[in-house]
Amino acid sequence: MSPERYSKIRSILQKRQTTLTVCMEQVHKSHNVSAVVRSCDAVGVHKVHAVWDDKTERLRGGTAMGSQNWVYMDTHDSIGDAVSHLKQQDMQVLVTHLSDTAVDFREIDYTKPTAIILGQEKHGATEQAIELADTDIVIPMVGMVQSLNVSVAAALVLYEAQRQRDMAGMYDVQHLDEAACQKMLFEGGYPIFRDLCDRKNLPYPQIDEDGQIVADEQWWQALRAK
């Protein structure tokens, strides 16, 4: 890894937001999933969540997908499990849903730990998701159509969150710990070696300030072994 790439990755990791995320509930079209993840990467989201009935959907893209694998994805067996996990992290859980009590998405305080549930493309969020969420949010619309594409809606809400967090200086403080940074430095800087480590069950090595791997000869021998 070149010093320039190391510096670029470090700069990205310094701005990652561990207290902002989305949860895709049955969003099944791959181009929508990829577009949502790209928007998450663009605003510095570190990890996204998903609930899929079809187990094969969980395997697409492995543990990370979109934007060169810079955003991790956790999958959950049910929306109940997902929301429980998010609330254990003291996150306010929002759901995009038009209701009598829904509030304009711009009125939310996104400087708080926040998770945004995005419902399935055709039917939107499930009744269970709506019941479990803390607040319904809506994107005001004055045209004939009543809803936006899920990835477009995600981008609008995420960029409002980014605006508020930027104004609050939250991108000036590093949220990720060094262990998480080291993991992503290796995965992003040495993708071929990462694949070898995963296949051979080898621990990831440390990355020094020049972007170079720090490992003993035994690790290198294990990596090279057939």
Binding residues for S-adenosyl-L-methionine: 96, 139, 148
Cα separation of 120 and 115, whole Å? 16
* 186 Ramachandran zone, left/alpha/beta (phi>0; psi -120 to 50): alpha
**Are the C-beta atoms of 121 and 27 separated by less than 8 Å?**
yes
**Calpha distance 92→67 (Å, rounded):** 26
| Beta pairing class for 206-207 and 213-214 | antiparallel
How many whole angstroms separate alpha carbon 155 and alpha carbon 36? 7
Q: Give binding residues as ranges.
A: 96, 139, 148
